[in-house]
Structure 1
Amino acid sequence: MATLRRLCVFCGSSIGRDPAFAEAARALGRAIADEGVALVYGGASVGLMGAVADAALAAGGEVIGVLPRSLFARELAHRGLSELRVVGSMHERKALMAELSDGFIAMPGGIGTFEELFEIWTWAQLGDHAKPCSLLNVNGFYDGLIAFLDQVVDQQLLKPRIRDMLLVERDPAALLARLAAYQAPVIDKWIAPDQR
């Protein structure tokens, strides 16, 4: 995984109902650390965010958290990270996470996770970066979203090659291997969306 120095994980600040979510978060954190890759995430100590960070740290990995000042003040900050960067806003948080990371993984989460995933994937579509974007589809959590995205392609509102930019796996190790092997398509920033 020489090209991946840091991976960003988007996931829930809640643990979720399915125990498989936390199990997958811990497995992903360990796998990232075992590959010698640093974890970049939202900086909280709670939910799936805390689980992935704790597992990476326990496996000897480097973990960088990025947390808005408003959430730090609510005592959600993880105090045991390799590095915690406190920023002024959610916009700054996402921009810094994108800057620090060489690839992106969305685990189960809520609207914040979805928003982060779609924004970073949109930036890839626009050619603002060439970093891989992916879903860790734990216990079929994202099956409905994947089917919807395929429907959007069928309706000719999303080009198949843009849809194919979003990697999907159910197993953390398989996903990390695909991220490491990712070859970004050439995106011309000036091609009109309906021509992509």
Structure 2
Amino acid sequence: MILVPVGALLALASLVLGFSVRRDVPAVDRGLHLAAADLEPGFTHSATVVSFVLSPGLATIALLSLVARAALARDPLVLRAAALLGACWSTVFARHVYQRVRPIDFPKWSYPSGHVTAVAAVAFTAVVLTAHLARRHLRAAVALAVAAVGATAASRVVLEMHWFTDTAGAVLAVTGVGLLVAHALRLLPLGVGSRREQS
């Protein structure tokens, strides 16, 4: 299955990127950081709202909801989805390996972005569940997922909480690990063996 080597390559790309930027700040990061510092206050206010709504708190709610649903309904698909979400989200702990310093003084390591990791984990899991339960909405789910992750990543750079590569590394890690874990949990290929297809 092509998605498995793709997942491995994405996870490896996140690893390589993390070690590449842990000590040196590439030009793209410096440039976007300087551009963010020159933005009007309206952009900062909008980014603050986005970061508040699309945050690790969202992932916490999603994970607890999936676990509760799986326990109450004894639903193996939802239980596997909860495991997938947890595995994707756990990639944030790699920051303790890279120990990259943030653009501003902050007591947590920078790479990968915690906000982007959390939102990407929820988005990836939501897309997988949509493929199994409501495949006709899959394109809309993917579009919404990409928009949510993109908005979160942009907000963290605008707020100067992260370098751009912190957000890119988070997306690479979550997607890569997500594909590998989804395969291991027999959630791939998407939609095959679905319990319910809505037409």
Q: Normalising by structure 1, report the TM-score.
A: 0.26
Q: Which protein shows a greater Rg?
A: 2
More strand by share: 1
